[in-house]
Amino acid sequence: AQSVTQPDIHITVSEGASLELRCNYSYGATPYLFWYVQSPGQGLQLLLKYFSGDTLVQGIKGFEAEFKRSQSSFNLRKPSVHWSDAAEYFCAVGEGNDMRFGAGTRLTVKP
């Protein structure tokens, strides 16, 4: 069965440190992939998406993600975290008419 896994429920990083949030999936060979962010008290906002082409995708707010077909992963990265990045991050994966969200990773940023 198709699934999306975000292995880390909660991550804490220091401001200025690098960040990587993991996303693994079990879908076919050509999924479409998204990362969304949900800031406190706000709705979900798209950070970036991948459909095809270059496997390294640039998004808003300095985020990027890399699609690795061999590892069935689409990890989100940021080289230097800002306090305003504290939020809940959701990976979403789909194929055809089937799309699912991961359970989310909550990011805490230490000063």
Mask for 10-49, x = binds another protein (CB under 8 A): ----------------------x-x-x-----xxxxx--x
Closest CA to 85 of 65, 61, 69: 61
Closer CB to another protein, residue 17 or residue 69? 69
Q: Do 76 and 47 touch, CB atoms closer than 8 A?
A: yes
Taking the C-alpha atoms of residue 39 and residue 27, their distance in angstroms, rounded to an integer, is: 28
Residues of the shown chain interacting with another protein in the complex, contacts defined by CB under 8 A: 6, 32, 34, 36, 42-46, 49, 51, 90, 94, 96-104
